[in-house]
Amino acid sequence: MELKVTKGDLHTVDAKVLIVFHFEGGETWLRATEEVNKATGGMVARVIAAGDFRGEHLEHILLYVPGGLAAERILLSGLGKQQEFSPHRLREAVAQALKTLRERRLASAVLVLPEGEEFPCAAGDTAEACALGGLLGLYQFTELRTKEREKIKEFSSLVLLTRQEPGELAARVAQAEAIARGVDLARDLVTLPGNVATPRLLAERAREVALQAGLRYRAIDPGEAKELGMGAFLAVARGSDEPAVFVEMEHRPEGQDSTPIVLVGKGITFDSGGISIKPAENMEAMKDDMAGAAAVIGAMQVVAALRLPLAVVALIPCTENLPSGKAYKPGDVIRSLSGQTIEVISTDAEGRLVLADALSYAARFTPQAIIDLATLTGACVVALGNGVSGLMGNHDDLMARVQAAAEKSGEKVWPFPLWDTYFELLKSDVADLKNVGGRKAGAITGGLFLKQFVPQGVPWAHLDIAGSAWEEKDRPLVPKGASGVGVQLLTRLLQDWKPLGADGLQR
């Protein structure tokens, strides 16, 4: 979709559809809606009085203009109760409105930006929310369809109409476009099937992003990984014929010599479970086991596009998890990069193994903080359901910031404790620890396992996105399928970044 911000008058603007908003039960009308009402001889008031439109959030109605405006149609969009307003609700309302238009094969519209004192959102935030909402809601993945392509509906152009000079708003819209591109990149990567999105392809896409955005890029191949001592990562990779690759990206603006924030993403491009093989039913869903990697690649693209004044490193261990005559086995003891030995109880608990080595590897950057994202446990989905990520970590302040960033970006996270008492569950008779803690507290033992590999004294947060990476039902901003979870959260977290105090570190 092409987006433009234009200064103009809603009476004379040429539009197939003019979008205006209304608060539920609103005594005070938004100015644009009021003007449309006047110009059309009270049409909006009649629709409301007749009970055909109440202004509930996500409610909308398409009306034909009887005259008085240059536009052909009005789309009246509900924002819900004014007291409950948030930019997130505006994003959702715009997404819903544009999806309706696309469904009716209306491919362009002019949205009158709600402005002025009566609107509870600053002009820049409003423009960004409208742009982001539209872009995110309209996402569709059509790349792999070859038949009836003419039936694919597209929405191609949205003009944001303002009464002020468009300069500042256009900059905010450009930001929204960068963010949406990052989210959509992550969604594309997660949607691509395992035979296409191989470790090599993930690395290739990461390299393209790096090249375009001016990021440092490095791919560690299995030979180098072996020399480095990444025994846990390589154990998982052994069953697959697709070569594993450990990707490293770095954003470092000129003159920025602070230590980086390190992002780590689980990049299992297909998780069959390995020798501890998963049941066949729904196994196809395990192509999304690289959603953490996708989020990190998407976020790096956004960080570079927004030129954030921070050093950020991405570490992305990519491999398949497959059974074969060479595959690692239950009972095997492997030596991780940290030197700690791990008894493999289940080869299906592979995510924590590849992440363990990535977390240890992060030490070489002396990071300010580490944030990892991983579709780590089914237990997290049992606990929190879909659309919510589990949050764990070792630093109160960092976790609070992740929660704040989630809130602002419309993602949902919920905390789990990582008390040492749970470590009982990870004790092994033959090695330093085992990779499975049993059925109890599964998301927590997954997090606690990772904690053993976080470099000493480094603030760390872990997001278990097993339940949030894939949306089973259409939501206004997340079409059914890959959600792109994490990209917006990470972007917000890094946009708001300030150095962390040492005192938040739990023991």
Residues with catalytic roles: 278, 352
**Quick one: what does residue 378 bind among Zn ion, ligand BES, none, with the CB cut-off 5 to 8 Å set by partner type?**
ligand BES
Amino acid at 345: I
**Quick one: what does residue 109 bind among ligand BES, Zn ion, none, with the CB cut-off 5 to 8 Å set by partner type?**
none
Write phi, then psi, for 169 (nearest 5 degrees). -65, -40
Q: Which position among 114, 231, 351, 459 is part of the footprint of Zn ion (CB under 5 A)? A: 351
Smallest gap from Cβ 202 to Zn ion, in A, equals 15
Question: In 192-327, which ranges are continuous DSSP H helix?
Answer: 199-213, 222-228, 231-237, 291-305
> Residue 390 or residue 455: which is nearer to ligand BES going by CB?
390
- Measured CA to CA, the distance from residue 379 to residue 447 in angstroms comes to 11
Is residue 464 at the binding interface for Zn ion, with CB under 5 A as the rule? no
**Quick one: what does residue 80 bind among Zn ion, ligand BES, none, with the CB cut-off 5 to 8 Å set by partner type?**
none
β-strands 341-343, 433-434 pairing: parallel
Span interacting with Zn ion, options 58-66, 241-249, 329-337, 340-348, rule CB under 5 A: 340-348
Q: Which position among 115, 177, 242, 271 is part of the footprint of Zn ion (CB under 5 A)? A: 271
**DSSP structure class, residue 272:** -
Q: Which position among 184, 248, 250, 289 is part of the footprint of Zn ion (CB under 5 A)? A: 289
- Chain positions contacting ligand BES, by CB under 6 A: 271, 289, 346, 348-351, 375-379, 381, 436, 442, 466
**Quick one: what does residue 379 bind among Zn ion, ligand BES, none, with the CB cut-off 5 to 8 Å set by partner type?**
ligand BES
CB 116 within 8 A of CB 28: no
> Residue 1 or residue 290: which is nearer to ligand BES going by CB?
290
CB 111 within 8 A of CB 152: no
> Residue 260 or residue 467: which is nearer to ligand BES going by CB?
467
- Measured CA to CA, the distance from residue 362 to residue 259 in angstroms comes to 11
> Residue 352 or residue 492: which is nearer to Zn ion going by CB?
352
What does 450-507 look like in DSSP terms, one character per residue? Answer: HHTTS-TT--EEEEE-TTTSEESS--SSS-SEE--TTHHHHHHHHHT--PPPGGGB--
Cα torsion 360, 365, 367, 370: sign: negative
- Measured CA to CA, the distance from residue 481 to residue 469 in angstroms comes to 8
**Chain residue at closest Cβ approach to ligand BES:** 378
Span interacting with Zn ion, options 32-40, 96-104, 226-234, 268-276, rule CB under 5 A: 268-276
**Quick one: what does residue 409 bind among ligand BES, Zn ion, none, with the CB cut-off 5 to 8 Å set by partner type?**
none
Angle at CA 481, nearest 5°, toward 479 and 487?
A: 80
Question: In 271-328, which ranges are continuous DSSP H helix?
Answer: 291-305
Is residue 372 at the binding interface for Zn ion, with CB under 5 A as the rule? no
**Quick one: what does residue 346 bind among ligand BES, Zn ion, none, with the CB cut-off 5 to 8 Å set by partner type?**
ligand BES
Is residue 348 at the binding interface for Zn ion, with CB under 5 A as the rule? yes
Smallest gap from Cβ 486 to ligand BES, in A, equals 14
| Chain position carrying tokens 């620890």 | 433
> Residue 92 or residue 350: which is nearer to Zn ion going by CB?
350
What does R_g of the chain's alpha carbons equal in angstroms?
Answer: 25
Smallest gap from Cβ 336 to ligand BES, in A, equals 17
> Residue 124 or residue 330: which is nearer to Zn ion going by CB?
330
> Residue 40 or residue 435: which is nearer to ligand BES going by CB?
435
Helix (H, G, I), strand (E, B) or coil at 333: strand
How does 183-203 read in b/e, with b if 16+ C-beta sit within 10 Å?
bbbbbbbbbbebeebbbebbb
Contacts with Zn ion, residue ranges (CB under 5 A): 268, 271, 289, 348, 350-351
